[in-house]
Amino acid sequence: MKKLSGLFLGDRVIWIVFFALCIISVVEVFSALSTLTYQSGSYILPIARHAAFLITGFVVVQIVHRMPCRYFRAMLPFAVLLLLVLLQLGFGITLNGGTRWFNFFGIPLQPSEIAKGTLVVYTALVLSWYQTDKGVAPGTFKRIFIR
């Protein structure tokens, strides 16, 4: 039990929500692919593939959860800028008629998804800068939207 509690650092409620969403996603994937699995006869393959993605995601969550926050502040804006420049230079792959994707170890990835995470980290950073004893300083949200 001691090893298990060391694996799940942070808030227990967030971990419960995380695992609940993972379980719901398995049901959703099975439901969405039910016609294809019926036609192909392989019922377990889509769920096994999705489970592999969930396990990989859990490992990534564990690694990112243990990284100090200062690395995010330095790394994410440059990662988004680099990915967008690479897309403009033609290094992306074309899916559904648009070159907005990268193939990252066989997994298609959109730089806009990383930009969403960057926006969350940026907002948290600005909120931490203007934090006072009574809460966030007045006018902080205006500063977030202006920058």
Structure letter (DSSP) for residue 90:
T
Residue 103's beta-bridge partner residues?
108
Average pLDDT value for the chain: 79
Instruction: Please tell me the distance from the alpha carbon of residue 37 to that of residue 76, in angstroms, as a whole number.
Output: 38
| 81: its two tokens | 């800028």
Are 91 and 82 contacting, i.e. CB atoms less than 8 angstroms apart?
no
| Rounded distance between C-alpha atoms, residue 101 and residue 21, angstroms | 25
pTM confidence score: 0.62
Decide: residue 111, CB within 10 A, 0-12 exposed, 13-18 middle, 19+ buried.
buried
Q: Which runs of E-coded beta strand occur in the chain?
A: 93-95, 98-104, 107-109, 131-132, 135-136
pLDDT per residue as tens digits for the range 57-110: 899 888 888 888 777 777 767 777 777 777 777 677 777 777 777 777 777 777
Task: Look at residue 113 and tell me whether its pLDDT is greater than 80.
Answer: no
Which residues, in sequence order, are bridge partners of residue 93? Answer: 101
Backbone angles phi, psi at 53, to 5 degrees: -65, -40
Averaged pLDDT for residues 112-130: 79
User: For 32-55, how does the pLDDT look when each residue is reduced to its tens digit (9 = 90+)?
Assistant: 877 777 777 777 887 888 899 899
Dist. CA 87–CA 84, nearest whole Å? 5
